[in-house]
Amino acid sequence: MYDKPMLGLSQAQEAIAVILAEANKEPDRPLAIAIVDDTGSIISYARMDRCREVPKRMALRKAYTCALSGQDSKDYAERLASQGRTVAEMGDPMLAAVQGGVVILHQNGSIMGGIGVSGLAAQEDEDLAKIGLKALGL
């Protein structure tokens, strides 16, 4: 029998609330947030008013990429680039080789999911995702 740690909805919603609290300090800069489980399936999602379509989609893709690759999306992009490869070669249109997503790891090292933030500058997206990761209390 296996014992698999999993994220709960309440954990994900709390992390999103913390990210939104920080983002709403500048409400004229809308963004989107997605949290997925280890299979890339969405657990929770939020977007600020007036968020454009591309960030809405990219938040989910960043989170998905982190969950499936087991690494932050920036690191995933750097790994592909160092191998002379592109994300298109992976055959999965949901993968995104861009900064702004963080992998969620359990204390035992197992992948629990990913957090993706999109709508601001790449580093700001990543910083907000890390705030959400910290809020998970893992």
**Of 91, 44, 48, 45, which Cα lies nearest the Cα of 68?**
91
How far apart are the C-alpha atoms of 11 and 91, rounded to whole Å? 31
pTM for this prediction: 0.94
Amino acid at 70: G
- Asked whether 15 and 35 are in contact (CB, 8 A), the reply is yes
| Per-residue pLDDT at 13 | 97
List average pLDDT for each run of 10 residues in the chain, which is 138 residues long. Answer: 89 97 93 97 96 96 97 95 90 94 95 97 97 94
The domains of the chain are located at: 9-135
**Residue 65 pLDDT:** 97
User: Which overall architecture, per CATH, does domain 9-135 show?
Assistant: 2-Layer Sandwich (3.30)
